[in-house]
Structure formats: structure tokens, C-alpha cells
Structure 1
Amino acid sequence: MPVPRADWRDRWAAQPRRAVLFDLDGTLLDTAADLGGVANTMRENRGLPALPISELRPYASKGARGMLQKALGVEWNAPEFEALRTEFLDIYQQDLSRHTRFMPDLELVIADLEARHLPWGIVTNKYERFTHPLLRDLRLDKRAAVTVCGDTTPFAKPHPQPLKHAIGLLGLPAEAVIYVGDDFRDVQSGFNAGCYNIAAAFGFCSSDRPVADWGADAIAHQGKDLLELLAD
């Protein structure tokens, strides 16, 4: 279980070279409208009315699995799940970025890091075939120092390997890196990888566990809180 470290900011600030890593869906980018649009397309194809994106938003951080659970009431272990998941992902791949934007104030956060010459990157459970085209569409692919996806390594979060891989690509010790994420598994992954963690309470936050109980080193209640939390 992750445990907050009271001196995390001083320890991070003391590092000669530092970096910040972000989860993608619900932390760096608001992808709920595009993911929810796919879910509603699948509902409409089955004669069901569309759901408000506000109802689908909390499930967006879990991708197809979360959307199918909410939109069609299908759990991951149902016999029809894999076929529906394939259908969902095929539709999503055709139109990844129509409505996707930065989460509120995250564009400012990224600009601030870049102005301070602090590298930033992405560690997401979203597969490479969706992540890389999405980042290209938003012109973020060349700005991110590293991008590690759900199928880049043999493991996905909450396993620490994706974050360890990203930290290795950065050439930094784990204590020089902060990971920002909107799900309990992000904090689990970061803690077990040895880096510091900020819980993005402004995100999709699909976990049943209250954000205050995740064990993060800090909590950002709004995107702009990161400007202070990541300050020198």
C-alpha cells in the first residue's frame, strides 16, 4: 500500500536533473467525449438511447472495459466481452481526437515545465496503436520526452514496470521523477517504481477508493494546483 512521504518535494527539488511523467486519459488529456462517443455509437447501433457524456466520464480512465461496463452493462469476464471490446476499439481508432483536449490548465502546466527545461513524458495503459496517433494529432508526440504505453512492456499499470521503463529511458534515478495520475493504480505503480506521486483529483478518478486514501505524496484538486506542486 502506498504511503505519503512528507519530504517528497525537498527530495525531488534536490535532484540535479528532474522530470515529470503523466498518465494520459483523465490526467493530461480529456478523452471522455471521444471514448463516450464510441460507447454511444455502440448503444445506438443496438437501439439504445445515448447516455450523457457526464455519466460516461468516470469510466473513461478504464478505457473500453469501463465504457462497455457502463454503456452496455458488460463485465470483462462476460463471454461476449472480447468481441465487444474489439468492436469498441475498431470504432475508436477511426476517430481518436475529434473532441480530445488538454484537461483544464494542463496545457499551462506543460508550458511551464518546458519553459524550465524540465522534461515531461507519458505513461499510460492505452495501447500504442491509439496513443501515438492521438499524440500526433495533438502535436504532442515530439514534445514528450518519453511515451510508454500499455503494451510497450509486458506489463501494464499497476505493475511498476511501465514507469521503471520510462524512468530508465529518461536516464534518471526514480527519486528524480514525479508521476501524476488520476487513478489509484497510478499511485500504486509510481510508489512501487520508487518515484513520487501526485494524485490528480481533478481527473476521471474511477477508483472506488477515496483519493485521500490512495497514499499519494500530494493531491492536485485542480489542474492549476500542479503549477505550485511542481514549482522549484
Structure 2
Amino acid sequence: MNKLNSAENTISHLLQNCGQPKAVLFDLDGTLVDTADDLGAALNHVLQSHGLPLCSAEQYRPMASHGAKGLLELGFGPLLANYDFGPLRQQLLDYYALHVCVHSQIFPGGTELIAHLNQRKIPWGIVTNKPYRLAASMLKQLPALRQCAILLGGDSLAQRKPDPTPLLVACHQLKVPAAQCWYVGDAERDIAAGNRAGMTTVLAEFGYIGASDQPELWQAEIAIQSLADLIPAF
């Protein structure tokens, strides 16, 4: 059985046992939007300004879901201990804020899925650890995402993923019980947060999953290779 058939069968089984989901929430980077090249450009801007070797897409892509800290750890390696982390992080974020959506685009199948959700009047939103202002700026530049019903960033609340609180708050604002909402993400913290919130969790296998990650241990209920795989669920 191939992975797509497995996803189809799993979704069919969940629908039979739990009914159709009433809402869906997405992670942003590596799940709904492919942001790796813009994040990598911001990292390389910082590295170049300090006279350090640049990172290739092959290097930075698996780290693109891990925020400024993960990117800087990748680029600077052990040398990071010799720098004041705060100014480096701010330098990366300042550059990224000005170039937040140069190369970024919705992952294949995402535009079709969002259009389907909008047509069916299924509420959807985004819960990300990305700073809110950066996430909001990106959404303004991607017209297909402008009907997002709720956006929570990593600084919107005191808690952030893998804590389930942001997901529970989003469900509350959508007026949908967590048990009737699905959460789609590409990182272990996404699946952990969704599971702790009592939601159906969906692993985006096309996202920024590194060679050392073990997604088979994350306990996602569904694994998809394209966002379009979710259309039959709604």
C-alpha cells in the first residue's frame, strides 16, 4: 500500500468513526507555506555580514521550521558561543521582515484545499511559533490565505507549541471543540501540541523534516504528502 492510499484509508476510517471535522488549523512554515528560501536568505545575510560561509538550501531547508535560533545554530555552529545571541537574532529578523515573502509560496495543493474549505464554509486558521507580525505580514502578501479566521503567533500568548494552549485558544475562538478540529504540522512540537489538545493530528511529510528526525515516533494520526490529500475529509 502506498502512502497516499494509506492517507486516504486513514481519513476514511476517521470520518466513519469520528465524523467530519468542523475546523482545521495549520502550522505555517513547512506546512502551509514554503518559506525556506526567504528564511535561508535572512540567515545568509547575517553570515555574510560576519564573514562566515553561507549555507546551501540543502543545509537550511530542514531547519526552516526551527526559527531564528535553529537557523543561527546551523549557520554559526560552535562559533555561536562567541557571539551575543540577541543582536544576531534581531539582525536576522530585521532582514527577514523586509523580505518575508520574496520566494515564499503556498505548498502544492494548499490553494485548492483552502478554496475548498472556504467554499464549504469550514473555518480554518493558523497557529505558528513564528512572531505574529511576521506571520501577519506574510498572509497579507498571499491572497489565497486572506480568509484565515484566526492567526496566533509564537508571541500571541505566554505559551507556545508544544504547549497545547495556543491550539485550544484557537479552537475556542473558532467556537469548535478541539476534538472536532484537525491540526496539520510538519514538526514534532506540532504533533505533540495537537495530541495534547485532543485534536486529530496530521503530519505534513513534505515539510521541513530533517534526516535525524523520527516522525514515525511522533504519533500523528494521519500522514500526507500533499495538502490536497485532505480535501476528501471536508
Task: Give the TM-score taking structure 1 as reference length.
Answer: 0.88
Q: 1:47 to 1:203 in 2, by over 3 A?
A: same
Equivalent residue, structure 2, for 1:147: 151
Equivalent residue, structure 2, for 1:156: 160
Q: 1:6 to 1:115 in 2, by over 3 A?
A: closer
Give the count of matched residue pairs. 225
Is 1:221–2:225 an aligned residue pair? Answer: yes
Equivalent residue, structure 1, for 2:186: 182
In 1, Cα distance between equivalents of 2:214 and 2:74: 20
Equivalent residue, structure 2, for 1:10: 16
Equivalent residue, structure 2, for 1:130: 134
Equivalent residue, structure 2, for 1:55: 59
In 1, Cα distance between equivalents of 2:80 and 2:165: 23
TM alignment of 1:202-221, pairs within 5 A? 202-206=206-210, 208-221=212-225
Aligned partners of 2:127 and 2:166 also within 8 Å: yes
Deviations 1:164-213 (A, max 9, x none): 01000000111110000000110110111111100111101248442221
Give the partner amino acid of 2:63. Answer: Y
**CA shift for structure 1 position 7:** 5.6
Aligned partners of 1:183 and 1:206 also within 8 Å: no
**CA shift for structure 1 position 101:** 0.2
Is 1:34–2:38 an aligned residue pair? Answer: yes
In 1, Cα distance between equivalents of 2:82 and 2:167: 30
In 1, Cα distance between equivalents of 2:100 and 2:34: 12
**CA shift for structure 1 position 158:** 0.1
**CA shift for structure 1 position 141:** 5.7
Equivalent residue, structure 1, for 2:170: 166
Aligned partners of 2:114 and 2:145 also within 8 Å: no
In 2, Cα distance between equivalents of 1:113 and 1:144: 10
In 2, Cα distance between equivalents of 1:6 and 1:103: 23
Segments of structure 1 that go 5 or more residues without pairing to the other structure are: none
**CA shift for structure 1 position 82:** 1.9
Equivalent residue, structure 2, for 1:198: 202
Aligned partners of 2:114 and 2:144 also within 8 Å: no
Aligned partners of 1:25 and 1:61 also within 8 Å: yes
Secondary structure of the residue that 1:180 maps to in structure 2?
strand
**CA shift for structure 1 position 13:** 2.2
In 2, Cα distance between equivalents of 1:75 and 1:147: 35
Q: Single out whichever of 196-205 and 72-81 deviates more from structure 2.
A: 72-81
Secondary structure of the residue that 1:224 maps to in structure 2?
helix
Secondary structure of the residue that 2:65 maps to in structure 1?
helix
Q: Between Structure 1 and Structure 2, which shows a larger proportion of helix residues?
A: 2
Equivalent residue, structure 2, for 1:67: 71
Q: Single out whichever of 68-77 and 144-153 deviates more from structure 2.
A: 68-77
Task: Give the TM-score taking structure 2 as reference length.
Answer: 0.87
Segments of structure 2 that go 5 or more residues without pairing to the other structure are: 1-9
Q: 1:197 to 1:77 in 2, by over 3 A?
A: farther
Q: Single out whichever of 206-215 and 55-64 deviates more from structure 2.
A: 206-215
In 1, Cα distance between equivalents of 2:122 and 2:170: 15
Aligned partners of 1:132 and 1:141 also within 8 Å: no
Q: 1:78 to 1:196 in 2, by over 3 A?
A: farther
